[in-house]
Structure 1
Amino acid sequence: MKTIVKGTIATATGVTLLLGGAGTFALWNTSAETAGGTIVSGGLEVEPSAEAATWTVNGGAPQSTIAGYPIVPGDVVVYSRDMTVTAHGDGLNAAFTLDPASIEASSTSSSDVALADYLSSTAQLTATGDGITTTPDAVTVTGRDGLEEDVTVAVTIEFPKSTTVGFENDTQLGSVDLGAVAVTLTQI
């Protein structure tokens, strides 16, 4: 017999053996159930207290509203509100931020928009209370039971006074809406 014929017969025999045994080749495996557990998701919530927010202007006495206040360059306005933070979850960290839409131009007039832009650029939020770190203002949950803490949130809005004469002129007679100061607590 020629070598080619012998090779072809050997190949055909090998393929037949492999195909014939394909149904009998097995890998061993087994399974068993183990006792597990149930997990629940944590949570994060910030709610304003029942007490109304207060405003101060240039460190003066707290007031319930600043509606119609004629702000001028050099003024510092502070919004303060007590809030309750509820957070559940091991190692949950969250940071307070001020929603940029909290300082909104009252209309699309150029002076309203300029004043809103100017005041928004200086707005800073701080939070004080148990569980609050100073940089950044964050709530840290250290236990499985979480925390429920009362915190005071303050938003400081400064109307900077430039040394350049007339720098703030585009804000004259501008109006902003501060009626919906929104504080956000976001997991970090």
Structure 2
Amino acid sequence: MQKTTKAAAAAGAAALLLAGGAGTMAVWNDSATLGGGQGIQTGELSITENATADSGWYWGTSAVAGQEITDISTVRLAPGDSVTYKGSYDLVVNGDNLAAKVDVDGGAIDNDLGGKLTVSPIGQGSLTDITADQTVEAGATITFDPSATAGMNETINLTGITVTLEQTVPAANPAP
């Protein structure tokens, strides 16, 4: 046998020996389960409107001072008018270390008024360290710009106004 053939055979034998000890071809193995319990569960964070006696539409920028509107679809806004929706919302909070915020978003209302309609959130704002179910009040004031010179006979779709409960990331998990 030539020297190069002997060297190649020796390298191949060494590779087979190393592969056998690398664990990929081992026949014997064992494992153990992670101790400390049968498992964990995830929590829940949800929001649902709770129709209370005070929930609804009101004239003006304050539901407290404004006259109640019994049917918002009959309202005919004129420049300078404001209407406010005040709602009560039940929060379901089931979990540890939750932090959340409540936001009112009116950016998606459907209208052709060219920016002459503004939606201003009212109510709760940010909630942090929520540890139990609770009820919050939130809503929005819609104001028709008093300087508007256009926009007669337009229909405004209010279904784009949303109240959102969103989990925020807590600063840190509690110490063990």
TM norm. shorter chain > 0.5 = yes
Aligned to 1:125, what secondary structure does the other structure show? strand
Q: In 2, distance between residues paired with 1:70 and 1:44?
A: 37
* Structure 2 counterpart of 1:34: 34
Kindly provide the amino acid, as one letter, of the partner of residue 48 in structure 1.
E
1:104 to 105, 110, 127: 110
Identical residues among aligned pairs (%): 24
Change (3 A) 1:64 1:149: farther
- Describe the superposition over 1:31-65 as per-residue Cα deviations: whole angstroms up to 9, x where unpaired: 33331332111111111113263222125223333
Distance 1:156 1:36 in 2: 52
Residue deviations 1:89-111, cap 9 Å, x none? Answer: 3133233232544x334xxxxxx
Which residue pairs with 1:148 in the alignment? 133
Show the counterpart of 2:76: 70
Q: Which runs of 5+ in 2 are unaligned?
A: 169-176
Report the equivalent of 1:177: 157
Q: Of the two structures, which has the highest relative contact order with CA contacts closer than 8 Å and spacing of 6 or more? A: 1
Q: Which amino acid is 1:56 matched to?
A: Y
Greater share of residues in helix: 1
Query: Max radius of gyration: which structure?
Result: 1
Does the 8 Å contact 1:78/1:156 carry over to 2?
Answer: yes
Q: Distance in 2 between matches of 1:178 and 1:19?
A: 73
Structure 2: how far apart are the matches of 1:97 and 1:173?
27
CA RMSD, Structure 1 to Structure 2 (Å): 3.0
Matched residue type, 1:57: W
- CA gap of 1:100–1:18, structure 2 versus 1, over 3 A, is same
Aligned residues: 156
> Following superposition, which runs of at least 4 residues in structure 1 exceed 4 angstroms of deviation?
26-30
Deviations, residues 80-130 of structure 1 (Å, cap 9, x unaligned): 1111111233133233232544x334xxxxxxx227x532xx2022333xx
TM-score (norm 2): 0.69
